[in-house]
Structure 1
Amino acid sequence: MASAPQPVQDPSTPGGTPPHGSFFTTLPGVLTALAGLITAVTGAVGIYLSQGDGSSTGGSPPSALPSTTEGAGPVPEGSGQADPDDLPNGFEEDSMNEEASTLIDDCEGGDAGACTALLDLLAVECAEGYGASCDALWYVSPPGSAYEDYGATCGGRYDWTYVGVCSQL
């Protein structure tokens, strides 16, 4: 009769007893598990926050109105060179009052004072809640100026998500 085979000894523990527990009960295992959990949570939060941010630069606004601040921010002050040629075709006739239309014509004629007055008028009207004035302010203001930011944010009521569509909000 043949004798029973001898059990094979764990090569990682020569002459000793096999370790008790698993990898996740050791310090490296716990740290690995913790790192994996942090990575998963961070990824899930990032995906959640990136969904529905609605960053569009034009077109029609979403059907649900975004939350606003308590009103318009402070109207920018200073001088700047407006560029009425940046207004879309037909925008002036459809959306502007007579005073703004006159200032646009004078500004196009080279009157720097009219350009500054146009920016100031549009900023004040934007603060009063006239979305078309906010849109016009964004179109004609110098890039990177306080006027551009004010018009793009509908007078500080929204973020830059609604650039050029303040009149539709």
Structure 2
Amino acid sequence: MAMDLDKFDRRILAVIQKDARRPAELIGTEIGLSASAVQRRIARMRDEAVITAEVAVVDPISVGRPLTMIVDVEVERERPELLASLKQWIAAEPVIQEAWYVTGAGDYVLIVVARDVDDFDALMQRMMGENANVRRFQTRVALSTLKRGVLVPMDQPAS
């Protein structure tokens, strides 16, 4: 169930999605609340799992992962236990940045960062070898990054 967020909560979220280290005093000045009110609201949104993490966004190229691949994965059967096993495998792979269970031709879309083609190939060989339910995969290489992020728009909901 979604938490009721007022305009102040949404404005706080808009600010901290761009800079989670921004002091509550500055946020409060910007949106018209005291620093303690901002801190209480942030604490409540953490408790209610509206805020699920506060992380550093790292440039993959700077840490030796210049290759981004978009992988469509198709499974043989959609039996719950087989899907659960594949989901666990995907969740445990640190180079898989995002994973989406989707409609359409494939069943999953994965975003993978790799050092090089050999690194990526080794991952796909492991995926196929350790997950007999994977029928096939199709890979697209990202030539450049136009946009990357996890910011959620903070528009006011329709009433």
- Bin of the TM-score, shorter chain as denominator length: under 0.3
Per the normalisation by structure 1, the TM-score is 0.20
Bigger fraction of residues in strand: 2
Per the normalisation by structure 2, the TM-score is 0.21
Structure of greater Rg: 1
